[in-house]
C-alpha cells in the first residue's frame, strides 16, 4: 500500500525544505533516517515486550509514543500541531484533540469492564479503540507503531498476546491496513479475534 499522506506544514515545523523530518541525529537524507528510525524504534519495542506499560488512559498513547521515538525526535510524545490527510481523507483536526482523547478514555473504561473470558467482546472493543485512535492520528510520525503497541498492551491486560505486525505476514498487514484506512471495524475485529492468543 502506498503512503499518500499530506501534511499542512507551511512553516516547516517538522521538516526541512526537502521534506526530511527534523531529527535528533541531524540526518538529512530520508532513506537513512528511515533505517535509523527503524533500528531505534525496534529496540524500544523489544524493551516494551519485556517491561510493558499499564494503560491508564488515553495519555498512555503519548507515553508510548515518547518511549518508542525518544531517540529520534524531540517532539516524541507530543501531539501534532499540523493537520494530516491520507488519500484525500483528513484525520482528526488537531484543534479538537481534547474531545477525541475524552472519547478514547470512555472507550477504555468500557473495555476495562469486559470480562477476560469474553474474547469476542474484547476483540470488538479493541477494534473500536483502534479505529478511533487511528482516526485521531495524534502524532506527526509513528501513529501506526504507537497504536499497535497500545492495542497490544490492552490485550495483554486481559491476559492475551496480540501481534498486529507479525514479521513476514503480508496478509495480516494488508488486512490491518484495509481496516484502518477504510475505518472497517468488522475487518479489524475479525483480524484481532483471529490473532488473540
Kindly report, residue by residue over 55-69, the tens digit of the pLDDT: 999 999 999 999 999
pLDDT tens digits along 10-47: 677 899 888 899 999 999 999 999 999 999 999 999 99
Residue 81 CA to residue 83 CA, distance in Å, equals 7
- Confidence band for 186, pLDDT divided at 50, 70 and 90: very high
Q: What is the pTM of this model?
A: 0.93
Range of the domain at 136: 5-195
Is 120 in a helix, a strand, or coil?
A: helix
- Confidence band for 144, pLDDT divided at 50, 70 and 90: very high
Domain with residue 172: its CATH number is: 1.10.3290.10
Residue 27 CA to residue 36 CA, distance in Å, equals 9
**Across the strands, what pairs with 126?**
none
Q: Which grid coordinates are listed for 51? A: 517491561
Torsion of CA 186, 188, 193, 197, to 10 degrees: 180
Residue 15 CA to residue 1 CA, distance in Å, equals 23
Give the count of domains, the chain. Answer: 1
Q: Give the single-character DSSP code of 119.
A: H
Amino acid at each position: 500500500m502506498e503512503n499518500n499522506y499530506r501534511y499542512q506544514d507551511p512553516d516547516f515545523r517538522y521538516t526541512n525544505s526537502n521534506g526530511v523530518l527534523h531529527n535528533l541525529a541531524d540526518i538529512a537524507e530520508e532513506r537513512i533516517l528511515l533505517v535509523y528510525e527503524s533500528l531505534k524504534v525496534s529496540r524500544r519495542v523489544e524493551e516494551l515486550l519485556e517491561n510493558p506499560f499499564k494503560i491508564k488512559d488515553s495519555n498512555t498513547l503519548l507515553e508510548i509514543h515518547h518511549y518508542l521515538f525518544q531517540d529520534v525526535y524531540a517532539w516524541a510524545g507530543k501531539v501534532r500541531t499540523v493537520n494530516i490527510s491520507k488519500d484525500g481523507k483528513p484525520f482528526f483536526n488537531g484543534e479538537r484533540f481534547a474531545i477525541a482523547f475524552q472519547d478514547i478514555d470512555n472507550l477504555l473504561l468500557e473495555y476495562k469492564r469486559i470480562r477476560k473470558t469474553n474474547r469476542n467482546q474484547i476483540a470488538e472493543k479493541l477494534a473500536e479503540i483502534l479505529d478511533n485512535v487511528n482516526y485521531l492520528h495524534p502524532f506527526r510520525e509513528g501513529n501506526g507503531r504507537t497504536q499497535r503497541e497500545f492495542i497490544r498492551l490492552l490485550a495483554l491486560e486481559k491476559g492475551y498476546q496480540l501481534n498486529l505486525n507479525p514479521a513476514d505476514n503480508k496478509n495480516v498487514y494488508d488486512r490491518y491496513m484495509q481496516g484502518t484506512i477504510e475505518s472497517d471495524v468488522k475487518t479489524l475485529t475479525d483480524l484481532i479475534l483471529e490473532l488473540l492468543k
